[in-house]
Amino acid sequence: MNSIKVLDVTLRDGGCVNDFNFGQDYMDKILQSLERSGVDFIELGYINEKSGSDSGRTQFSNEQVISTNFLKHKQLGKTYVAMMDYGTFDVGKFQDRQENGIDGIRLAFHKKNWKDVITLGRKVIDKGYQFYVQPMLTMRYSDMELLELIKAVNESLSDAAGFYIVDSFGEMRGTDVTRLMHLVDNNLNPGISLGFHSHNNLQLSYSNAMELLNFPTIRNLILDASVMGMGKGAGNLNTELLLEHLNLYYGKHYKITPLLELIDQVINTIHKELYWGYAAEYYLSSVNHCTPSYAGHFYNKHMLPIDQVAELLGMIDEEKKNSFDRQYAENLYLKYNASKTFDDAEVIKKLKECVEGKKVLLVAPGKSIKDAARKINALLSEVDIFSISLNNFEFNTDYVLTTRAEIFAEAKEQGKAIIVPSRLTQTCTDLVYVVDYQKWIIVDEKTYDSSSVIALKLLEELGAREIILAGFDGFSININENYYNTTLRRPVTEEQAEQRNEFYKDLIARVAEKVTVSFLTKSLYQ
Tens digit of pLDDT for each residue in 372-421? 999 999 999 998 899 999 999 899 999 999 988 889 999 999 999 999 99
How far, in Å, are 29, 76, 261 from residue 36 at the CA level?
Answer: 11, 12, 11
Residue 492 domain-assigned (yes or no)? yes
In terms of Cα–Cα distance, which of 140, 151, 91 is closest to 115? 151
**pLDDT at res. 486:** 65
pLDDT at 160 over 90: yes
Give per-residue pLDDT as tens, 228-280. 999 988 999 999 999 999 999 999 999 999 999 999 999 999 998 888 999 88
Residue 125 domain-assigned (yes or no)? yes
Angle at 55 between CA 94 and CA 238, to 5 degrees: 90
Look at strands 41-47 and 79-85 and give their pairing: parallel
User: Which H/E stretch holds residue 19?
Assistant: none
Task: Please indicate, yes or no, whether residues 322 and 361 belong to a single structural domain of this protein.
Answer: no
User: Which H/E stretch holds residue 85?
Assistant: strand 79-85
48 confidence band (pLDDT: 50, 70, 90): very high
In contact, 131 and 161? CB cutoff 8 Å: yes
- Last residue within a domain, chosen from 225, 253, 273: 273
Strands (E), 221-260: 221-225
**pLDDT at res. 439:** 87
In contact, 463 and 489? CB cutoff 8 Å: no
Tally of structural domains, the chain: 3
Residue 294 domain-assigned (yes or no)? yes
Q: Is residue 525 exposed (0-12), middle (13-18) or buried (19+ Cβ within 10 Å)?
A: buried
Task: Please indicate, yes or no, whether residues 26 and 117 belong to a single structural domain of this protein.
Answer: yes
Task: Please indicate, yes or no, whether residues 81 and 104 belong to a single structural domain of this protein.
Answer: yes
Query: Rounded to whole angstroms, how far apart are CA atoms 519 and 472?
Result: 8
pLDDT at 355 over 90: yes
How far, in Å, are 1, 75, 230, 247, 510 from residue 252 at the CA level?
Answer: 14, 19, 23, 4, 63
- Last residue within a domain, chosen from 273, 288, 323: 273
487 confidence band (pLDDT: 50, 70, 90): low
Determine the structural domain holding residue 31 and report its residue range.
4-273
Give per-residue pLDDT as tens, 110-137. 999 999 999 999 999 999 999 999 999 9
Residue 148 domain-assigned (yes or no)? yes
18-25: long-range contacts (C-beta < 8 A, 24 or more apart)? 18/270, 18/274, 19/57, 19/59, 20/45, 20/46, 20/53, 20/57, 20/58, 20/59, 21/56, 21/57, 22/56, 22/57, 22/58, 23/56, 24/55, 24/56, 24/70
Task: Please indicate, yes or no, whether residues 303 and 354 belong to a single structural domain of this protein.
Answer: no
Give per-residue pLDDT as tens, 292-330. 889 888 877 655 677 888 889 999 999 999 999 999 998
In terms of Cα–Cα distance, which of 409, 372, 371, 379 is closest to 396? 379
The three-state secondary structure class of 475 is coil
Query: Rounded to whole angstroms, how far apart are CA atoms 319 and 332?
Result: 14
Question: In this structure, what DSSP letter does residue 339 have?
Answer: T
492 confidence band (pLDDT: 50, 70, 90): low
In terms of Cα–Cα distance, which of 106, 197, 108, 187 is closest to 154? 187
Instruction: Give the pTM.
Output: 0.78
The three-state secondary structure class of 109 is strand
Residue 525 domain-assigned (yes or no)? no
The total of other beta-carbon atoms located within 10 Å of residue 154's CB is: 17
In terms of Cα–Cα distance, which of 33, 25, 85 is closest to 55? 25
Task: Please indicate, yes or no, whether residues 316 and 396 belong to a single structural domain of this protein.
Answer: no
Residue 526 domain-assigned (yes or no)? no
Task: Please indicate, yes or no, whether residues 366 and 394 belong to a single structural domain of this protein.
Answer: yes
Task: Please indicate, yes or no, whether residues 228 and 263 belong to a single structural domain of this protein.
Answer: yes
Query: Rounded to whole angstroms, how far apart are CA atoms 258 and 460?
Result: 58
Instruction: List phi, psi (to 5°) of 119.
Output: -65, -45
In terms of Cα–Cα distance, which of 476, 464, 496, 486 is closest to 360? 464
Task: Please indicate, yes or no, whether residues 351 and 318 belong to a single structural domain of this protein.
Answer: no
**pLDDT at res. 308:** 81
% residues pLDDT > 70 (the chain): 96
pLDDT at 520 over 80: yes
pLDDT at 503 over 60: yes
Alpha-carbon Rg for the chain, nearest whole angstrom, is 27
Instruction: List phi, psi (to 5°) of 344.
Output: -105, 20
pLDDT at 1 over 60: no
Question: In this structure, what DSSP letter does residue 161 have?
Answer: S
Task: Please indicate, yes or no, whether residues 297 and 265 belong to a single structural domain of this protein.
Answer: no
- Last residue within a domain, chosen from 314, 338, 362: 338
% residues pLDDT > 90 (the chain): 80
> CATH number, domain at 376?
3.90.1480.10
- Does 444 or 337 have the greater pLDDT score? 444
> CATH number, domain at 194?
3.20.20.70
**Mean pLDDT rounded to a whole number for the chain:** 93
pLDDT at 481 over 90: no
Residue 454 domain-assigned (yes or no)? yes
Residue 513 domain-assigned (yes or no)? yes
494 confidence band (pLDDT: 50, 70, 90): confident
Contacts of 353 (CB under 8 A, 6+ apart): none
Task: Please indicate, yes or no, whether residues 239 and 267 belong to a single structural domain of this protein.
Answer: yes
Task: Please indicate, yes or no, whether residues 233 and 101 belong to a single structural domain of this protein.
Answer: yes
Question: In this structure, what DSSP letter does residue 320 have?
Answer: G
Contacts of 184 (CB under 8 A, 6+ apart): 146, 150, 163, 165, 194
Contacts of 173 (CB under 8 A, 6+ apart): 202, 204, 208
In terms of Cα–Cα distance, which of 391, 380, 451 is closest to 421? 451
Task: Please indicate, yes or no, whether residues 181 and 71 belong to a single structural domain of this protein.
Answer: yes
Query: Rounded to whole angstroms, how far apart are CA atoms 16 and 21?
Result: 9
